[in-house]
Each structure stands twice: as C-alpha cells, then as structure tokens.
C-alpha cells in the first residue's frame, strides 16, 4: 500500500487555521460604520442602509464559524500530517481569507445575480476543501489515532458534501432565476439538523 510521508504533528497547521479564520471574521467588521455628526433623520437612514451589511456579516460569520468548527473536528484525531494535507489546507485557508470580498459584494450588490453566484462559489469552494481534507484523512489511517473522527465518518462526509452541493447548485441558478435564489440556502438548516441528530444517534 502506498503511504504518504508524515511531516510532523498538526499543531502548527491548526494554529495557523485558527489565526486565518479569526482574521477573516475580523475583516468582516471593518466595513460596518456610520458617518459622524448626522442629524437624527440621517442617522436613522444610515442605520437602515446598514441592514444589508449586517445581514451579510451575520451570514459569513455563521459560514466561517461553522467551517472553523468542522476543521477542529477533522483534526481532532489526527496525530500527523503530510504534504497533501498541508496543500489542501492552504488552499482552504486562501478561500477562507477571500470570504470578506464576496461578503462585501453581497452587502452592496445583493440585488445582482453575479454577487450571489460569487458568494455561493466561494462557500462551495471552501466546503470542497474541507470535504477533500476529511476524505484524505479518512483514507490514511497512518496519520490518525486508532479511531476515525466524526467529520471523517460517512455521515460527516455527507454533511460536508450537502453544503457543497447546495451552494454549488445556486451558482448557475442565480443567473437563471435571479438573486432571490439565495433563500435556497436555508434548506441547509433542516438538512444539517437531521444529519446532526443522525451522527449523535446512529442507531
């Protein structure tokens, strides 16, 4: 059997991931602001105009927070990493660092199909990196402890794949049906809740 060459423990990689996700979430806040010295009417108008920014911010915090948590789950039982694991992780970190940009597009041009498509593509790409990472580690027991992590289980991989498929499907649908297709993302709430219950109670 071909085996990869281990390249040390996962501690530095996990620390790097924690830092990148923290910075990405912090960057989401930088565009939230209200001008100074506004009169009461202008101040209320500015707050109303800030609502799309807050909505996009909340959505991306949930997305990035979920993927950060999933990354911790993936590496929960990993004792060593190899070059491919590092490579996939770096691609995923690059996508995670990019998320503030499509978030800005969604906040400022949420009525444009291309903004929804770009955001969905970014989330799908991030999910694909996490799915690939979990799948690679699931197939390399020499990098793990004796047990398989929850994220690398069949239900865990299915959970990750579901997110990728839903966001990927909305990329072409955004151009075909318009930006309102973003509401389709809400279908993930009951789907993830169901898969979460299945992981907790596999029988």
Q: For residue 82, what are its two tokens?
A: 């190899």
Residue 202 CB-density burial (10 A; 0-12 exposed, 13-18 middle, 19+ buried): exposed
Q: How many CA atoms lie within 13 A of 13 on its CB side?
A: 26
At 156, is the pLDDT very low, low, confident or very high (cuts 50, 70, 90)? confident
Residue 103 CB-density burial (10 A; 0-12 exposed, 13-18 middle, 19+ buried): buried
What mean pLDDT comes out for the span 146-174?
82
At 149, is the pLDDT very low, low, confident or very high (cuts 50, 70, 90)? low
Q: Write down the H helix ranges in 75-180.
A: 83-98, 100-108, 113-138, 154-177
Average per-residue pLDDT in the chain? 89
At 65, is the pLDDT very low, low, confident or very high (cuts 50, 70, 90)? very high
pLDDT at 117 over 70: yes
Question: How far is residue 148's CA from residue 168's CA, in Å, rounded to a whole number?
Answer: 28
Output the pTM of the full model: 0.89
At 91, is the pLDDT very low, low, confident or very high (cuts 50, 70, 90)? very high
Question: How far is residue 71's CA from residue 119's CA, in Å, rounded to a whole number?
Answer: 20
At 148, is the pLDDT very low, low, confident or very high (cuts 50, 70, 90)? low
The pLDDT of residue 123: 97
The pLDDT of residue 8: 82
Give the Cβ contact number of residue 107 at 10 Å. Answer: 23
The percentage of residues in the chain with a pLDDT greater than 70, rounded to a whole number, is 93
What mean pLDDT comes out for the span 83-110?
94
pLDDT at 1 over 70: no
At 6 the three-state DSSP class reads: strand
What mean pLDDT comes out for the span 59-65?
95
């Amino acid at each position: 059997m071909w085996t990869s060459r281990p390249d040390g423990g996962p501690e530095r990689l996990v620390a790097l991931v924690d830092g990148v996700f923290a910075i990405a979430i912090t960057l989401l806040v930088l565009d939230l602001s209200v001008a100074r010295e506004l009169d009461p009417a202008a101040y209320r108008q500015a707050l109303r105009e800030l609502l799309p920014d807050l909505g996009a911010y909340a959505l991306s915090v949930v997305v990035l927070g979920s993927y950060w948590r999933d990354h911790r789950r993936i590496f929960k039982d990993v004792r060593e990493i190899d070059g491919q694991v590092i490579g996939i992780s770096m691609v995923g970190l690059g996508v995670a660092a990019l998320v503030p940009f499509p978030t800005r597009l969604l906040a400022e041009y949420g009525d444009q199909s291309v903004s929804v498509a770009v955001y969905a593509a970014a989330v799908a790409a991030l999910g694909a990196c996490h799915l690939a990472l979990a799948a690679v580690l699931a197939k390399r027991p020499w990098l793990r402890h004796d047990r398989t992590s929850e994220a690398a289980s069949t239900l865990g991989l299915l959970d990750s794949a579901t997110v990728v498929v839903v966001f990927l499907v909305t990329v072409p649908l955004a151009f075909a049906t318009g930006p309102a297709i973003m509401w389709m993302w809400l279908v993930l709430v009951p789907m993830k809740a169901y898969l979460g219950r299945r992981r907790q109670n596999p029988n």
